[in-house]
Structure 1
């Protein structure tokens, strides 16, 4: 199998590359290294297990590297939900326009399959929790969520117009080693700067699902057994954890039992924040996959790994 991974030097992408290489696949990684890090896949580059192309997908020159591929995993994106409310332009370009360019390159190179990492934020403030894949209407409340939903629509249109197949994965919060953003890394950074006090955005009562990155990759590859034109799956855990509890876990892992918490207030931590999120996993569970870890265990493992490596 010849796989292409855009964003393959990033958090989830690098873990996916690890697994694809371990399975003996031929792999090309395309990453601009604006958010990803070369060191996450350096051993694969040095051993010639993969071909690495450093390129901005908004430019040209990378398209020849994907010719002959059997499948393209499209993970390259601007993942910053908060910043998308401050300056939407990078989100529009790096999510929607990049996805369009990837689809066009696939069309011209006759690549038949795309795997796309979407997000739970496409559901907005869902009235049904746990939220199933067929929930409607999809009304994102962040520019980031809207951009991912637009990408989903483009992918669906290309599949039905040009005979492609797609797998669209709507993620809960994916956490673990190599993560470069999110609540856990934010807390670690803040506590390094000030071990006595931790600022927590919102009231700390926001509850969401978290899943270990290794389980996420396993679910992504497992769901490839579905063979419809467009296959949509939620990927997450079957429970949730509140932000205050995450702060307590991070403080424990950093050995800071006396830290004081300071809350900024309000049910949302930032513009576009969803106070409650848990995804229904019934669709993927019906195909005999379920997570082995819950949110608390996933957060604990991630905090431990990030504290140790940072």
Structure 2
């Protein structure tokens, strides 16, 4: 395939690029390097099947140029920070909704056959059914980030049906692993490196969520995409997560153990009944039965994914010293 990966220099995007290149595809990456880095792509920069375009998707012309000659778009570009929504909702609109609109507008006049989009578990909000299936309703996000992801999903569905291309939408649990540069594990490691005696934990520590390692995520995306291509659905939705979940306090314990530290845990108490911040979904576990029916399942559970991620991030930090 001739593939465009938006956000391909970022955390999940770069792992996806690795797999696509290893599988022999022609890969073009469009990234403004605001959250990603060329270091994540260094092994491919001079490869004949690889092309990198540095550009901002808020500029429609940049997007139009990037999709020239492309068959499949993996749209991962986004501002990944859920917490920013309360301080800068306009930025989340621009870097999630507007860029998706620009991409769809460019696609409608091109030869792109398929779009794969990474949405988020945050579209479900405080779901009353856990594990939460794809057909859960009504979708009621409690963060601007979740609202922006849901708006992007709706635009994609409308454009796919109107302009005759296929769209596969993944609602992701918390994705973790090597190259991640935000999130609870990354924050805990940095806090403990600054002060090994004490660890501040946002919320009351009982927040419980499902975590999926990035290697399992990319496996799932590509496996399900192959099944989707053969099917007759115009638009389809799949959750990607794990069958289990883990509390923030348990994550803190694993990070401390792997760093060989015994810090005092200081809980902030949080907001709205112990959430880490305004808009934080306190309990999240997605049903992955639909994904498992395609033959995919995670190799690592949430606990194993967390421990492996801690080791990967510590190894990276050590190499950079």
> If the TM-score is normalised by the length of the shorter chain, which range does it land in?
over 0.9
Listed as ranges, the gaps of 5+ residues in structure 2 are none
For 2:48, the equivalent position in structure 1 comes to 48
Q: How far apart, in 2, do the equivalents of 1:270 and 1:108 lie? A: 41
Q: Which residue pairs with 1:262 in the alignment? A: 266
Q: Which residue of 2 aligns with 1:88?
A: 89
Could you tell me which of 244, 252, 257 is aligned with 1:252? Answer: 257
1:177 aligned residue = 178
Partner in structure 1 of residue 78 of structure 2: 77
CA RMSD between the two structures: 0.9
Q: What's the secondary structure of 1:92's corresponding residue?
A: helix
- Hey, what does 1:16 align to over in structure 2? 16
Deviates more, 1:61-70 or 1:107-116: 61-70
Shift of 1:62: 4.3
Contact in 1 for aligned 2:63/2:102 (Cα 8 Å): no
Match of 2:162 in 1: 161
Q: Structure 1: how far apart are the matches of 2:107 and 2:13?
A: 19
Greater Cα shift, 17-26 or 279-288: 279-288
Q: Normalized against structure 2, the TM-score is what?
A: 0.95
Q: Distance in 2 between matches of 1:74 and 1:8?
A: 9
Of residues 55-64 and 296-305 in structure 1, the stretch that sits farther from structure 2 once superposed is: 55-64
**TM-score, normalization by structure 1:** 0.98
**Aligned length, in residue pairs:** 309
CA displacement 1:91-121 (0-9 Å, x = unmatched): 0001000000011111122212100000000
Looking at structure 2, the residues matched to 47 and 100 of structure 1 have their Cα atoms a distance apart, in angstroms, of 31
Which sections of structure 1, spanning at least 5 residues, go unmatched? Answer: none
After superposing the two structures, state which structure 1 stretch, 46-55 or 291-300, moved more: 46-55
| Residues 56 and 62 in structure 2, CA contact (< 8 A), matched pair in contact too | no
Aligned to 1:302: 309
Q: Distance in 2 between matches of 1:162 and 1:237?
A: 34
Q: Is the 8 A contact 1:53 1:62 kept in 2?
A: no
Moved over 3 A (4+): none
Instruction: Say whether 1:216 aligns with 2:231.
Output: no
Q: Give matches, 1:74-223, under 5 Å.
A: 74-223=75-224
Partners of 1:41 and 1:58 in 2: how far apart? 23
In 1, distance between residues paired with 2:287 and 2:128? Answer: 13
